[in-house]
Amino acid sequence: MSTSMRNLLKRIMATPGSNRAKRSSSPKRPIRGYHHGNLRRALLDAAAKILEANDAGELGLRAVARMAGVSQAAPYRHFADKQALLAAVAEEGFRTMSEAMRHAAASARDPAERLLGLGVGYVEFATAHRAHFRVMFGRELIDKSQFPDLAKAASEAFSVLYDTILECQRAGVTRRDDPAEQAFAAWSIVHGLANLIVNEQLSLAGKSPATLALDITRNLIDGMRPR
Amino acid sequence: MSTSMRNLLKRIMATPGSNRAKRSSSPKRPIRGYHHGNLRRALLDAAAKILEANDAGELGLRAVARMAGVSQAAPYRHFADKQALLAAVAEEGFRTMSEAMRHAAASARDPAERLLGLGVGYVEFATAHRAHFRVMFGRELIDKSQFPDLAKAASEAFSVLYDTILECQRAGVTRRDDPAEQAFAAWSIVHGLANLIVNEQLSLAGKSPATLALDITRNLIDGMRPR
DNA sequence: ACCTGAACACCGTTCAAGT
DNA sequence: ACCTGAACACCGTTCAAGT
């Protein structure tokens, strides 16, 4: 690994205070409710805690209720069903991911480096929050289109990438093809790598996920340069 | 879309008699057992049938038993637990996929085209057998390393790709970098695209999965050319 | 308005008992 | 040797009842 590459990785990966989305209760809801004071928030926090502690298993509604210290039926006052809870969890995941990607991009000094940063940030997020990543992209949350807030959070994460692609085109880093298609290509390659790593389908052979992500994204950009 | 591209797609996608793995009972087992004559095979067939009919839901052990016309406890004579059944299902999926990829590659006239064919074949397989694809790569089958036959089938599918990468390097289509890394890049990009499509995360905007796969793979190869 | 307890229909899994 | 029926501990979900 060259020293310039090492430096790039270092800059891209410097962690901020915390990547975690802020968990302060929204101003729309009263500070204290009946027994719990915003049980909705408590349930989402419990879900996040379970996902972080237990990389493998399912996220059960009863388990979430148990961790929040309420009865199994209590969540139904705040979420229509398990799908709705999962959608809210996934939504927060997308917000955290957008934040992580924006941070990774912010330290870059030019559009090409920004795109590399996004790729590394994406894979870093996935490996650091494996279970959360699975809820966001997996299939226990069956019909994502039913949850507009989730769709919005997801498309906001996508536009971080899309905007960077546009920047790259304007700067002459990539050719002026359909930007959506270039974004799909970039998304596909980091998403595929993230999935293969998270599901332990790939033998890393000593390389860190970030290094792999960097190599792979760099190669992709090479293929998109003006010719 | 250029006509040469159309021709390439046509050649790559010409379907053989059937992509399905052969389901004849293995010679190791007697042709008739107690009640069912190879209930193991009947269960795997039932599982495949359920996966094909029901793209969304979980694959339940009881549901498989029901479809095979046996009691809920019967599968335990043939599979240690649900994980073992899923592993066998995934294993057959990998065999079918290897076959599909080999077929897609066989019609190609040079290494570069063969690599494109693999990419298209991969994404085609995923979209044509969504539920099966999810069992192969998803997380309801938790620890794939516990099942050596599955690991072998998966790594055989991977070597179809790896061999083609080696061929491309020898033919001067791609540069002589670490072939494993090039294979990872190729795998990542088609796997990512397949996942995004299968989980409905991507708006196809009228394009077929195969066309997208072709464009994306072509772009990747451009990035790997000798410089 | 918000939560509990008990119930229902489902799972995966086990085990004695049947042929 | 292979399968069944009943049981167990778990789910998600509903609903009357409690505060």
pLDDT of residue B55: 84
pLDDT of residue A55: 84
In angstroms, the first-to-last Cα distance of chain B is 27
Give yes or no for CB of A74 within 7 Å of strand C.
Answer: yes
> What burial class does residue B163 get, using C-beta atoms within 10 Å of its C-beta: 0-12 exposed, 13-18 middle, 19+ buried?
middle
d(CA A26, CA A38): 9
Cross-chain Cβ contact A139/B199 below 8 Å: yes
- Secondary structure (3-state) at A76: helix
Average pLDDT of the residues in A5-25: 57
Closest C-alpha among B192, B199, B208, B179 to residue B5: B208
Q: How far is the CA of A85 from the C1' of C2 (A)?
A: 18
pLDDT in tens, B8-64: 777 776 654 344 443 333 333 333 345 568 999 999 999 999 999 988 888 999 999
In this prediction, residue A14 has a pLDDT band, given cuts at 50, 70 and 90, of low
Question: How many other C-beta atoms can be found within 10 angstroms of the C-beta atom of residue A10?
Answer: 10
Residues with CB under 7 A from strand D: A 58, 60-63, 72-73, 76, 81-83; B 33-36, 39, 70-74, 77-78
d(CA B112, CA B110): 6
pLDDT top residue among A94 and A106: A94
pLDDT in tens, B91-123: 999 999 999 999 998 999 999 999 999 999 999
pLDDT in tens, B136-146: 999 999 999 99
Q: How far is the CA of A41 from the C1' of C4 (A)?
A: 20
Query: Which helix or strand (DSSP H or E) is residue A158 part of?
Result: helix A148-170
pTM (predicted TM-score): 0.90
- Assign residue B98 a region (left: φ > 0; alpha: ψ between -120 and 50; beta: otherwise): alpha
d(CA A222, CA A225): 6
pLDDT in tens, A194-212: 999 999 899 888 999 999 9
